[in-house]
Structures are given as structure tokens and as C-alpha cells.
A and B are shown apart, each in its own frame.
Chain A
Amino acid sequence: MSDRYGAITGAGGRIVCISVDSPLRNAALINKLKLPFPLLSDPDRSGAIEPYGAADTTDKRNIARPATFVIAPDREVVFSAMSRDYADRTQEEAAVAALVELDLSPTTAEPLDIGPAEPGPSAMIVETMEAYFRGAMYAVRAMTGRHPSVADDAADFIAQMNRYVKLSKELSEDG
């Protein structure tokens, strides 16, 4: 969603992300992806992941599943979307549309200080991300040829991978 942040702040919104990872790993992810918003740590999932129903109960690593909520300044939830799994799109366009509906004054990105950072042992480096997303896209395209019944889901996934390929390339070129 970072590539849509201008539209989000222009509509009076800001982003905060949450995962089970430690602050050190989150700082590394912000640095790697040049994220313009904070990333919070909920290691035992009790603070927000479980209360928001975003715990992935099928993954042994006790992580969150992708989910998006839009919360108005009066704390009303005006939009929510829960992914079925990591292949689902996170309905970012619909979230931004819900934000626009609030008709708020524009805001700006908040200052973001990044302290010490330490990527996890399995963290992907920027230089490999483009090839990774491109490979995922081609694999799904091939599988769709074998299983036409998943064409709609596959088209969404391929569109998402295309966007990630572009973003990965930009990140890599930015150094």
C-alpha cells in the first residue's frame, strides 16, 4: 500500500501495519521496502491480531493473515477485509474508497524515526524480489492453463504480482 500513500494521506488517512515480528525485524523491513508508515509488533497476537480476528490458524508459525481495516477518527470501523490466505489481494482499492467516503481533510505522512534494525534469517533481499514475484506470476499463469476454473482468482493474483514486480524493480534501482 506504500505506493498509494499519497492518495491515502490526501484523503485524510495514514497507515499502520502489524505483524508478529520483533521491532528490530520490523525496522529492517521498513528500511528494505522504504515504507512511509510505522510497523508494530504483536508477537503473541493478543494485542491486536487476535482481537481483530486476523490470526492465521492454519500456519504453524502463529502469524497473522493479511487483513485491512479502515478506522475513522471517531474509532468507527468503516471498512474491513480479511484475506483467505497469502494469495488473496488485500482489497486496497476498496479500503482507499472507504477512506475517501469519510470526506476528511488531507493530511501528511507522519515523521518516521528508524532505530536499530536486524532482518530475520529468512528475509529476502531486495535484489531477489523482482525475480521471486515474476516466478510466482509465471507459475500461476501456467497452472491456470491447467485449471481454468481458478482463472478469476489467478487474474487477481497475477495483477498483484505485476504490481510487486514493478515496485521491486523500482526499489532495486533506487538502491
Chain B
Amino acid sequence: MQAHDFTLLDQNGIHWTLSEHLDTARIVVFLRGDW
């Protein structure tokens, strides 16, 4: 299955796109959020 590509803002408010960061494998981790 091909991973859904996405673009989101990183911690500095800069766009981060999955397909531009696959020079290595990526472990994508979803978190519940701030605590």
C-alpha cells in the first residue's frame, strides 16, 4: 500500500511534505497531543 502523501506545518510553522523526506525510511507516529 502506498502511503498517503501530506504537507503539514512543522514546529517552526514551515511546510513539511512526506514525499520530500523519504531519502530515508520514515516512522510516522501519531500522538494525542500536548500534555
Contact = CB atoms under 8 A, between A and B. Distances in A.
A102 B25 contact: yes
A39 B13 CA distance: 10
Interface residues of B, number: 31
Contacts of A90: 29
A54 B13 CA distance: 22
A38 B15 CA distance: 11
Contacts of B27: 1, 8, 13-16, 68-71, 95, 99
Contacts of A122: 34-35
A170 B30 CA distance: 24
A87 to B, nearest CB: 11
Interface residues of A, number: 67
Contact of B7 (A25, A47, A49, A123): A47
B30 A67 contact: yes
Contacts of B3: 69, 71, 75-77
A54 B29 CA distance: 10
A68 B9 contact: no
A54 B30 contact: yes
